[in-house]
Amino acid sequence: MIKLIASDVDGTLVGDGEGKLDTRIVKAIRALHDKGIHFAVASGRQWISIENVFEEVKDKIFYISDNGAYIGINGRKLFVSTMDDKVTKELILDIRKDKNLVAVVADASSYYIEEKNDFLLSWIRGGYRGRIEVVDDLTKVENLIKISAYSENIYGKADYLIDKYSDKLLVNYAGKMWIDCTAKGVSKGNALRKLQEAFEISENETMVFGDQENDVEMFKAAYYSFAVKNAAPVAKENARFMADSNENLGVLKILNYLL
């Protein structure tokens, strides 16, 4: 019997950077809650973005945000994992030097960038429905939980960051525009395991959905691991099952089997 479900957002439940959730998914989450099945939203997004997108059911879901660095429910913080200050400063400086990349950092309350980038500001506030501020110096922001490098098509442009920092941080591609960095040991999978431990739920009682490299650790924490049809190859290779694409509401089709 399934007791816990976790799903990625971008590319899995909605298109990348979209802020509107299909009403049928909202109804399904309510129905799952009524059946006693826990639902967690596991995303690279910040928690405020998750809360805004899932406004109608925010009291019925867990937030696993920033790739597992933050766990919360209904605006309440349950767990936060911060990064080492020395490593974050070094990483920010490396991204800053690269003219192909834009650094976006996060603490538990907001995203931050150094220069006014109208596209990113509009996209994060409007598309992601998140919170972002412009600051003079990202290295002065304390208690970071995630650092991201952004580029319009990042594949191949920032592999050197993976090579340099993978022994110090968890570094993952999060779609074609982002590389996300969190503290070592932080992942969607480990965050999901915290919920499993809290509710005494096994991997065989857990179902997860995703589409990118940052979902792979989550796949390892559940027997019923689904990659959507539009997923990246690395996600498909590590998932046990396949669902239809996010455009065809593949996750919803699977959830309906449980209702």
Return the closest-CA partner of residue 66 out of 113, 115, 104, 119.
104
CB 103 within 8 A of CB 67: no
Helix (H) or strand (E) holding 40: strand 38-42
CATH number where 210 lies: 3.40.50.1000
Comparing 11-15, 104-108, 171-175, 230-234, which segment has the lowest mean pLDDT? 171-175
Give the integer Cα–Cα distance in Å for 77 and 81.
11
Is residue 197 located within the same domain as residue 141? no
Q: Among residues 183, 208, 224, which one ends one of the domains?
A: 183
Q: Are residues 162 and 46 in the same domain?
A: no
**Co-location of 28 and 105 in the same domain:** no
* DSSP reduced 3-state for 123: helix
> Is the confidence at residue 175, as pLDDT, over 80?
no
- Do 51 and 99 fall within a single domain? no
Same domain membership, residue 229 and residue 159: no
Q: Quote the pLDDT of residue 172.
A: 83
Which pTM value belongs to this model? 0.88
Are residues 201 and 74 part of one domain? yes
Instruction: Name the DSSP class of 10.
Output: B
Write the pLDDT tens digit of every residue in 15-28. 876 778 999 999 99
Q: Say if residue 176 is in the same domain as residue 191.
A: no
At CA 36, angle to CA 30 and CA 41, rounded to 5? 55
Q: Are residues 95 and 179 in the same domain?
A: yes
Domain count, the chain: 2
User: What pLDDT does residue 68 have?
Assistant: 96
- What pLDDT is stored for residue 176 in this prediction? 82
CATH of the domain at 146: 3.30.1240.10
For residue range 57-104, list pLDDT tens digits in order. Answer: 999 999 999 999 999 998 889 999 999 999 999 999 999 999 889 999
Supply the pLDDT for residue 118: 86
Give the domain extent around 165.
Answer: 85-183
Q: What percent of the chain has pLDDT over 70?
A: 100
Local confidence band at 169 (pLDDT 50, 70, 90 cut-offs): very high
In this predicted structure, what is the pLDDT of residue 228? 98
Return d(Cα 87, Cα 90) in angstroms, integer: 5
